Amino acid sequence: MRSSFLALLRCLLCAACCGATGAQALFEENEVKAAVVYHLSLFTEWPNGGQRENFRMCVITEQDAMADALSRLGGKSVRGARLEVLRKRPVHDLAGCQVVYLGEMSEAARNRIVGQLAGRPVLVVADAGLETPGAMVRIDLAGERVLFDIDLQAVHRSNLRLDPKALRLARSVQQ
């Protein structure tokens, strides 16, 4: 009985080796979140249109893997401009950024940044590891799906406009 189980197991492991090239399309969390952030920036309208040469996305996180995933978006086009992804520290000036991604950092640092950007036309996307009041979009992982919530008041306060499609796809929209 035992040997037949071992034989079965060997078969399974063999299948694993052979199956490696055809592995299913399971995506890595950070890659999906980065792509969602990119799509959200496509769905956003800034008050003065996109007259800049470069479209800036600023990334503040202690998590290197997420920063790497976002930096791979660099060079893509957003509203006719070239996307530039910059990694920033919480102390940096973020006024020149169109999109700010807030990842892992202390709660105090997050609150400071959100306070600094309040009312400015900057799309603030926060990863939902911590509560971030004032962020327009919160990206979250529920079960095995990436989701986002929108705070519409924060969007309006910043004079941004979000495409209704983004609102429709959000898990929740806070009015």
Residues lying near other proteins in the complex (CB under 8 A): 1-2, 5-6, 9-10, 12-13, 15-17, 19-32, 34-36, 38-39, 43, 62-66, 69, 72-73, 76, 104-108, 111, 115, 129, 131, 133, 141-147, 165-166, 169, 171-172
Cβ neighbourhood burial of 10 (10 Å; 0-12, 13-18, 19+): exposed
Q: How far is the CB of 104 from other proteins (least distance, A)?
A: 5
Using CA atoms, how far apart are residues 94 and 88, in angstroms rounded to an integer? 8
Of 140, 143, 158, give the one whose Cα is nearest residue 95.
Answer: 158
Amino acid at 28: E
Cβ neighbours around 171 below 10 Å, total? 12
Of 10 and 47, which CB lies nearer to other proteins in the complex structure? 10
Q: How far is the CB of 121 from other proteins (least distance, A)?
A: 22
Helix or strand holding residue 36 (H, E): helix 29-42
Of 25 and 47, which CB lies nearer to other proteins in the complex structure? 25
Q: How far is the CB of 120 from other proteins (least distance, A)?
A: 18
Of 49 and 143, which CB lies nearer to other proteins in the complex structure? 143
Of 37 and 100, which CB lies nearer to other proteins in the complex structure? 37
**Residue 86, token pair as written in the block:** 């910059």
> Do 126 and 149 meet the contact criterion of CB atoms below 8 Å apart?
no
Q: How far is the CB of 103 from other proteins (least distance, A)?
A: 10
